[in-house]
A and B are shown apart, each in its own frame.
Chain A
Amino acid sequence: MRSAREALMASRRAPLLSALGVVTIAFSLFAFGLFGLVAINIRKALDQVEERVEVRAFVSDSTDIESVAAAMKDIGDFPEVARVDYVSQEKALERARKEMGEFADVFEAGVLPASIEVHLRPGMRSPAIVKSVADRMKTYQFIDDVRYGEEWVDKLYRMRTIATVAGIALGVAFAAVAVIIIGATIRMTVLARAKEISIMRLVGATDMFIRLPFLIDGLVKGVLGGLLALVFVWVANRVVNEYFIETIFFDRQMIFFGVVGGAMMGVLGSLVSVGRHLRRI
């Protein structure tokens, strides 16, 4: 209680420094938040492309429907498989005509073979897994050919790996920059009160007693900075949505962790800054 009052009093005595602290934290978290927003949107775009990864097995014309149904049930039981659809010759024709409107007349009944279309579960779309599903499907005698756009799946997977690695590296770098900036901001507060701290020590205040108001100050600044950063990111997201492309925003859980992360950075920054200062004097 006393520590909270002391933290509040300190902010009142130096309102400009406190405001500067909150804004600095907000901007460093804003940069991190923008990066996070770009990352989740890239991830979502890749997920959408990945959803289109499918394995198509073309069925011989003479195959009876019971055999196909039995095979579809087998394939549907593969752990990697999310959904299995049957595309009859008629449906294939209809789809082709729809997709290639200009050349609709070129396609005639019976030109296109029937096929089994297999959609894979999320996380089961790596080249190795797709190939293994395709290979197993090839073992059915009535399957003429299996296609899954091998090259395309490879490229997509490589892109995803690059995006993940770059995302982690940039995320760590942004987080490190945010931590350093927040630490420096809080250090400014500590230095501004260095004389007060030294007198507190000389008159017999314990280190914990000195530390606590700073920790509360860091916590409050972290939360306020986090919320302010959230508003900035939200505004930036609205602007991008309005004038450029449609993007998604953080969900509630991410927002919660973002603000808690800001608070933790504030507390950690305070702990390190005050700790260093107390060791030095």
Chain B
Amino acid sequence: MIRLTDVAKEYPRSGVALAQVSFEVKKGEFVYLTGPSGSGKTTILKLLYMDDKPSQGEVWINGVSSKTASGREISRLRRRIGIVFQDFRLLEDRTAEANIRFVLEVTGAPKATIRSKVARVLTQVGLASKATSFPRELSGGEQQRVAIARALINDPFVLIADEPTGNLDERATRGVFQLLRDINASGTAVIMATHDLDLVRRSNYRTIELNHGRVVFDSSESPASARPFDEPFEVRDTPSDSTERF
């Protein structure tokens, strides 16, 4: 379903962000991407939703290749991918419901289905009663749930989450994480970048660890005990791979 083959990514200013990255993600799998800041997690996620192209190698996702994908193909692919960010990226001037509806509107969904779909995902994330609230009226955890609902509205085959619990307190983190597990249990693959080693340790999902833009550990290829997770990540001072411009 998702395959990265010898992927490298170089940025003109910050240099090498990824080198020789290869892995596969199967349908319905839950994968953690871990590693220190600047290790290449966000870059991999951006390559997955084709916000960027690899400098070398190839990314295959749901039959679309990074080498040949046209703009229209990328748009169509993104309608089948759910994306969640640490900073939620909700539109402040719209209610929770309108933020979710927006996705269906921009993809040209028929009006009749929009209302029922929005109600369904809001219930799924436990926010049916907050449909008319604006983001500023919601807690961080609730805002992230709205963002997850927005990501789920098109029934994605994969949910890509970039540090989704990074801005949340422990209680909200647990809630959001449980929600991601439920989503995964219903058949959607989840690829989640996180620093939160406690979270990683507490669950038995596959873990891919990155350092200096390389895969240094993949639990699917090694015994579960090979990476003890109690060593802190090495933090390096090189520029961050995060080239977000939002």
B23 within 8 A of A: no
The docked-state distance in angstroms from the alpha carbon of A199 to that of B114 is 18
Residues in B91-112 with C-beta less than 8 Å from chain A: 91, 93, 102-103, 105-108
Contact of A203 among B51, B107, B245 (CB under 8 A): B107
Q: Are A202 and B83 in contact (CB under 8 A)?
A: yes
Q: What is the CA–CA distance of A200 and B108 in the complex, to the nearest angstrom?
A: 12
Pick the contact of A196 from B72, B91, B107 — CB < 8 Å?
A: B91
| B136 lies within 8 A of chain A by Cβ | no
Q: Check A199–B91 contact: CB distance below 8 A.
A: yes
B181 sits at the interface (CB 8 A): no
How far apart are the CA atoms of A109 and B72 in the complex, in Å? 92
Is there an interface contact between B246 and A194, defined as CB atoms closer than 8 Å? yes
- Judged by a CB distance under 8 angstroms, whether B55 is at the interface is no
Whether A204 and B76, one on each chain, are in contact in the complex, defined by CB atoms closer than 8 angstroms, is yes
How long is the Cα–Cα vector from A63 to B108 in the complex, in angstroms? Answer: 90
A207 interfacial by beta-carbon distance below 8 Å: yes
| A195: chain B residues within 8 A (beta carbon) | 89, 91, 246
CA distance A201 to B50 in the complex (A): 11
Q: In the complex the two chains form, is B77's CB within 8 Å of A206's CB? A: no
Complex Cα distance A206/B77, Å? 11
B72 to A203, Cβ gap below 8 A? no
**Considering only CB atoms, which chain A residue lies closest to B147 in the complex?**
A199
Measured CB to CB, the closest approach of chain B to A144, in angstroms, equals 82
- A32 to B185, alpha carbons, bound, how many Å? 64
For window 199-239 of chain A, which residues contact chain B by CB distance below 8 Å?
Answer: 199-207, 209
Tell me whether A203 and B78 are in contact (CB under 8 A): yes
Question: Contact check: which of B79, B89, B107 meets A199 at CB < 8 Å?
Answer: B89
Q: Does A252 interact with chain B (Cβ within 8 Å)?
A: no
B71 within 8 A of A: yes
The answer on a CB contact under 8 Å between A202 and B245 is no
Q: 28 pairs across A/B with beta carbons < 8 Å?
A: A13-B93, A195-B89, A195-B91, A195-B246, A196-B91, A198-B89, A198-B245, A198-B246, A199-B89, A200-B102, A201-B75, A202-B78, A202-B83, A203-B78, A203-B102, A203-B106, A203-B107, A203-B150, A204-B76, A204-B77, A204-B106, A205-B106, A205-B107, A206-B72, A206-B75, A207-B71, A207-B75, A209-B106
Residue ranges of B at the interface with A (Cβ–Cβ < 8 Å): 49, 51, 71-72, 75-80, 83, 89, 91, 93, 102-103, 105-108, 150, 154, 245-246
